[in-house]
Amino acid sequence: MTRTPLMAGNWKSNLNHQEAVVLVQKLAWILADKKHDFGRVEVAVVPPYTDIRSVQTLVDGDRLQIKYGAQDVSEHDGGAYTGEISAAMLAKLGCSYVVVGHSERRQHHGETDELVATKAAKALAAGMTPLVCVGEGLEVRQAGEHVPHCMSQVEGSLAGLSAEQVAGLVIAYEPVWAIGTGEVATPADAQEVCQAIRGQVREAYGEAAADAVRILYGGSVKAANVAGIMAEVDVDGCLVGGASLEAEEFGGICRYY
């Protein structure tokens, strides 16, 4: 099976709704100007909640071939949960993707694999694709425990999902020591864990799910280093933080080939 590569830009807590519109307009212009083959690489932006409506209006109005998503979702369906944004709300805004289990949520908000699995299920039930993040910290990497660590996160974060659901997922391997540090993993580092994740999906959910599931690498990806990472067979795209805030840079990442 051929998996369409996905380049997703996680803006984190950056850019207000006006800046969001400017960035998406620039990105669309750059991709169009470079005669980007949209069928070849899927491009998505993941703005803060407050920007999503503006991005939706722009994408719909100009029929841009850019998808968008949210950085998190509530574990609740709605009701008396002040500050929470439900999956139904995000689906109504046309979100294609929902990032769940980003290391910054695991680290700063105490999110567990169990909670990540609940959020992934909520996103799926609302018709969106969860982008499930896993990855080890520096100490785990230095102890050589990164593969079992990520396997355990994958197992816990996908708990309760069916083989069909897993087949449609995106899983992002993001070593925490490489996020926002400029310390990019080598292509071989990325391949080692992405291959192990695909192997684990094969074992738990079967060949078809392993073939279909898209596995991204994330951690200090830039236009200058993306090609080497994308050359690895089990890497199906990148989750990009800092570099996705610059239209030229993110456009260059999307045009890695």
Name the residues that contact ligand PEP, by CB under 6 A. 10, 174, 179-180, 218-221, 239-243
Active-site residue (options: 75, 102, 111, 146) = 102
Is 102 marked active-site? yes
Q: Which residues are annotated as a binding site for substrate?
A: 10-12, 180, 220, 241-242
| Nearest distance in Å: CB 133, ligand PEP | 7
Which lies closer to ligand PEP via its Cβ, residue 128 or residue 179?
Answer: 179
Residues linked to residue 238 through DSSP beta bridges, in sequence order: 7, 217
| Nearest distance in Å: CB 134, ligand PEP | 12
Which lies closer to ligand PEP via its Cβ, residue 107 or residue 162?
Answer: 107
**Half-sphere exposure at residue 49, Cβ-oriented, CA atoms within 13 angstroms:** 12
| Nearest distance in Å: CB 163, ligand PEP | 27
Which lies closer to ligand PEP via its Cβ, residue 169 or residue 179?
Answer: 179
| Nearest distance in Å: CB 1, ligand PEP | 26
What is the 3-class SS of the chain, one letter each residue? CCCCCEEEEECCCCCCHHHHHHHHHHHHHHHHHCCCCCCCCEEEEECCHHHHHHHHHHHHHCCCCCEEEECCCCCCCCCCCCCCCCHHHHHHCCCCEEEECCHHHHHHCCCCHHHHHHHHHHHHHCCCEEEEEECCCHHHHHCCCHHHHHHHHHHHHCCCCCHHHHHCCEEEECCHHHCCCCCCCCHHHHHHHHHHHHHHHHHHHCHHHHHHCEEEEECCCCCCCHHHHHCCCCCCEEEECHHHHCHHHHHHHHCCC
Is 146 marked active-site? no
Active-site residue (options: 111, 174, 232, 249) = 174
Which lies closer to ligand PEP via its Cβ, residue 151 or residue 245?
Answer: 245
- Catalogue the active-site residues: 102, 174
